[in-house]
Amino acid sequence: MKEANKHFEVIVFTAGTKNYADSILNILDPTGELIQHRLYRESCIEIKADNKTSLYIKDLRILEGRNLEDMVIVDNAVISFAYQIDNGIPILPFREDKEDTEFLHLIKIMKDISEENDCRAFVRRAFKLSEIMKTDIDSYAHFYELSESDEDDSSEEDALELLAKCQRSLSMSFKKSESEIKNKPKKCKKKKARLSLKHFKKVKSV
């Protein structure tokens, strides 16, 4: 967060409840110097998968006085930034792994993004989001099912192509209006992404 503050305003946007989130954030940032704003579950848009499972989307348009071209959202759940797919950076969830290096790769990416006039331009190049348009939402979870061995053997190029396929499904799913999605939600399998940001660490701003 200290590194992010060198280049960005830092806002925590969580699908967690206020009491739960604050109990953690107050430990991470007790003085309030590293996190400028906090948004909680009530600021998310709730949709239903299978008419029962709640999914929470973080619509960046809720942030008044800020342009989408100046914002990125980092989240381990791709559906969280489904309304602004070109602003989203997917990241692996933390699993109490002492050798986790995701944030180190993220720092490099954030530095490159800070040099862009439009943050979305970097995201489109790095994650190929501009090419996603074909796969249905039931298919996208399948492409996230990388084993540890698959992940180690895949090249950065393969990882980018795989992520493009994953994201393509969400692009199609959310072409319908928000009201239509709420009335007729698509089935969404609860699978986790296994792609690490290390696959994208060589992407540079041009």
Residue 101 neighbours by CB under 8 Å, 6+ apart:
198
Distance of CA 52 to the CA centre of its chain: 23
The confidence band for 183, taking pLDDT boundaries of 50, 70 and 90, is low
Beta-bridge partners for 47: 55
Residue 56, beta-bridge partner list: 46
Residue 27, pLDDT score: 96
Q: Which residue has the tokens 């992520």?
A: 163
Residue 90's nearest CA partner among 128, 42, 138, 38 is 128
Q: For the residues 117-133, what does the mean pLDDT come to?
A: 77
Identify the bridge partners of residue 73 per DSSP, sorted by sequence position: 88
Give domain limits for the chain. Answer: 44-200
pLDDT in tens, 141-152: 444 443 333 444
Residues 190 and 146: beta-carbon distance below 8 Å: no
Question: 90 pLDDT band (50/70/90 cuts)?
Answer: confident
Cα atoms in the 13 Å half-sphere on the side-chain side of 162: 22
How far are the Cα atoms of 11, 107, 149 from residue 182, in angstroms, in the given order?
27, 36, 38
Chain centroid offset of residue 69 CA: 16
Confidence of residue 163 (pLDDT cuts 50, 70, 90): low
Query: Exposed, middle or buried by CB within 10 Å (0-12, 13-18, 19+), for 131?
Result: middle
> In the prediction, which pLDDT does 196 show?
56
pLDDT of residue 157: 55
